[in-house]
Each structure stands twice: as structure tokens, then as C-alpha cells.
Structure 1
């Protein structure tokens, strides 16, 4: 059977020949590759959805962990579990001030009771309490050997310190502006340091732990009064014991 060609003349019986439909041959395996590409696209979409879900999951976990770590804020004038540095400082300063005031009163009362108030003086500046020994109570002029008359007062001080284990002591030596006139001390620096050291050693011998003591010598450079009269120079020659409170309160 012959196939009519396009544009062929009519048949003898008058009928028209059937037109031929042109078809294009597809390469072998083209349908298979198309199906494969569609399958790959579907796989990539599924993977991206899975990754997105994982990211969302970890974000939620991270948010929950943050909520556990951050303290909850409760309404009211004070935040629960959180205090600013200024609030802490405000609590600490008045407390130390109150303790230093109490310390000054207790020390003065003890010295007065032991009849030592005439030998020494007690003063407080801010939260620092200072006990001052005039030179004539503890040393001879130009020397650093403790007088026997100072022992009773030092015993009272040592007993007071031992009952308050949180106190730290700084012993300071001071002189007037007159040059030293003996061969033992080249200057007032050495004399002031040696005097402070002798007082500290006496306190250690009376039971105060050495770790609670420090020693400084200032020579003539920290006078209480101008060195223009003998009376003022006498007051400037002294040994001071500073009672230092701890910087933070133990709670």
C-alpha cells in the first residue's frame, strides 16, 4: 500500500489523497533523561526543606537555652537576682563607715578603761581608724629602742586586735624636719622605718600575726603641723597604727 505524498494530484476516482503528518524522531533515551531531571529537582526541593526545618529547630533550642540562663525579672522596686554595681557600693560604703565608727568607739573606750587614753590618741577619717603614739611614750629622741613604759599600751592594742581577726594593721613612723645627729641613721627616713618596725615587732611578740602587719616610714614628709616651732615638731614625731577594715563585707 502506497502512502500519498503531500501535494499529490487527485485520484482518478475523484477522491483526495490523505495528507501525511510529519513527525520528528526523538533521540533514543530522551524521555528517560527528562524523567531523571524531574526526579533530581524533587530531591533537591526535599533536601532544602529538611535543612530549613533543621535551622528552625536549632534556633528554637538556642532561644530556650537563653531563657533558662537569663534570670527572670520580677516587677517591683528591686530586681530579683540582679543588683547593679552602684547598689552594691551603696550598701558597702555605709556598712564600712558604720563599722569604722564602732571600731573607733570601742578602741577609745578600751584605752580609757585601761587608763591609756592619756598616752595615745584615737581618730577616725572616713573608714580609717588611726591610733597615734607620741614619741615621748615609745622612744627617746633620735633612737628606735622601745621604752618600757610603752609595753602596757601595746599589750592593750594587741589584745584588741586579736579579738578582731578581720583587721589589718599598718604601722607608720614619722619624724620632724631636724636632721638626725647620730651615726646609726643616715637620715630621718631610716629612723622612721626603724621605729615603725620596732612597734610591729612588739605587737608580733604579743601575739599579733605577722601577716596582718605592714610597716612604712615617712621621715619628716607627713607632718601633722608646720615644723616652725618646737611644740609642733614634738607633735610631728610620732608612730601611728592604722586599723584597716576589709574592703568587702562577709555575708
Structure 2
């Protein structure tokens, strides 16, 4: 009996030891699993630098519209031609910031000088377009252009071009010429347009024109009527007659007097020439 009881106690002691060991094994398994989880998480958080560089380069090429390895262009060719790459755009914009700041710091005199330079270029471009029309119409002997201190000047000999002798009624040829000039001048929307009539020194006395003042003023007004319209607002025009007071050549010869009988159409400057 007593021996049996001792065996029973030993048996119970063996059972407790085995349960204690199983608990340790379970804990060790849990720690192993946690360690494995941390290792996996750490490995997932580490990015291969070479792979990151490849991805970055691929993105830059994609935004630039270049062809990626293993595929076609990510944009249509026409779109690539029309749209600049964002990276290049940012690089181009960056130098503009100090330039804008410099312009804002310009003194009034420097701003005026800069505006005058731009205006000079605009008038020169307009002159080239006028010269092309004049050459096409073979009117180089009757119509000349020049960029002067007062602005862009178009000089038209009146004889057989704009008016019959002693008249301010526009000829059909003159109407056609003014239409050609208007087609070029209408691209300009801001400059005032001064029309000045000039005569030679030969006196005139008719019921309609008692003197050259009347004739030169009437011719200037007739040119304004031929140019003004929806494309060239009448409010931009002025008409002045100078009679024979501002000759360009000597009135002693026929050629000189012919050169003096003229109308000048001037796009007057908005900014003083530096």
C-alpha cells in the first residue's frame, strides 16, 4: 500500500515536469515566430539602391517622353513635340526668377529704355513687311519707308499714285495702294497714325483749293478716310496739311517738285528713341 502510494507521487511528479517542459517549448516556438516576422519586416523595409535608381531613371525618361526599355514611348509623338518635359521646364524657369526680380528693380529710366528698344524692333519688323508689299507691287520709286526718330514713316509720291494733279480725289490706283498698306498696318493696334500732306512751291488757286494749304490738308484727310475703318480705328488718326513748307528736295527742278508732292503716313512712337 505504502509502496503504491510512493509510486503514485513519483508518477505525479513526472507529469508536472513534462508539462513544464512543454510550456518552454511553446514559448520558444513563439519567440522563433516573432523573430522570423521581424526579419521579414526588416527585409521588406530595405530597398535595393540599384533598383531604386533604375526606377528613378525610368520615371525621368517617362516624363521626358523617351522610350523605356522593353516598351514603346509612353506618349504620342505629336504630344511629345508639343509638350516640354516637366524636368526641363523647371530647369528653364529657374533662371527666370532672378531675371524678373531684376526687371522689377529697374529704374523708370531703364524701363523706358527697355520699352523703346522693344518698340524699335516692332517698327523694324513692320517696315520689312511693308517693303515686301512695295516690292511685290513694284512701287519702289513711288513709295518709301524708313524708321526715324518720330516713328515708322511711309512716304507716297502723290503724282499718278494717289491723286490726279491739283486734286484731292483718291484715284483707283490710290485706293488699291491704301488697301495694301492697311492690310499690313492693321497688325499694329496701338501706335497713333499721323497723315501729313505736302505740296511743291507752285501756287494753286481754284474754287476748291484757293492755296496749297487747302490742297495739302484735303489730301491728308482723303488718305485718312482711305485707311481708317474697323481694322484701323479712326481715333488713332490725325491729318495735317503743310503746303510747301517742308520740302524734301529743291523746288527748282521738275524731279524735286515731284518728290515734294507727297503724303507721309507715320506710326508715331510711344516711347522716346534712346
With the shorter chain as reference, the TM-score category is: 0.5 to 0.7
Q: Are 1:99 and 2:122 counterparts?
A: yes
What runs of 5+ residues in structure 1 fail to find an aligned partner?
A: 1-77
For residue 206 of structure 2, give the secondary structure of its aligned residue in structure 1. Answer: coil
Within the candidate set 89, 113, 116, 2:136 is matched to 113
- Does the CA contact (< 8 Å) of 2:249 and 2:260 recur in 1? yes
Alignment correspondent of 1:129:
152
Structure 1 position 96, deviation (Å): 2.1
Structure 1 position 186, deviation (Å): 1.9
Structure 1 position 102, deviation (Å): 1.8
The structure with the largest alpha-carbon Rg is 1
Q: Are 1:148 and 2:183 counterparts?
A: no
Q: Are 1:169 and 2:193 counterparts?
A: yes
Structure 1 position 176, deviation (Å): 0.7
5 Å matches for 1:42-57?
Answer: none
1:3-41 per-position Cα deviation (integer Å, ceiling 9, x unaligned) = xxxxxxxxxxxxxxxxxxxxxxxxxxxxxxxxxxxxxxx
- Provide the rounded CA distance (Å) in 1 between the counterparts of 2:232 and 2:268: 15
1:73-106 per-position Cα deviation (integer Å, ceiling 9, x unaligned) = xxxxx87853323322332232222222222112
**Richer in helix (by share):** 2
Within the candidate set 105, 119, 131, 1:82 is matched to 105
For residue 238 of structure 2, give the secondary structure of its aligned residue in structure 1. Answer: strand
- CA separation of 1:84 and 1:147: change in aligned 2, threshold 3 A: same
- Provide the rounded CA distance (Å) in 2 between the counterparts of 1:147 and 1:224: 24
Question: How does the TM-score come out when normalised to structure 2?
Answer: 0.57
- Does the CA contact (< 8 Å) of 2:189 and 2:232 recur in 1? no
Structure 1 position 115, deviation (Å): 4.3
- Does the CA contact (< 8 Å) of 1:142 and 1:181 recur in 2? no
- CA separation of 1:178 and 1:206: change in aligned 2, threshold 3 A: farther
Q: Which of 218-227 and 118-127 deviates more?
A: 118-127
Question: How does the TM-score come out when normalised to structure 1?
Answer: 0.62
Number of aligned residue pairs: give it.
173
Structure 1 position 120, deviation (Å): 1.4
Q: Are 1:212 and 2:236 counterparts?
A: yes
Query: What's the C-alpha RMSD, in Å, of the aligned pairs?
Result: 2.6
- The list of structure 1 runs, each at least 4 consecutive aligned residues, that deviate by more than 6 angstroms after superposition, is none
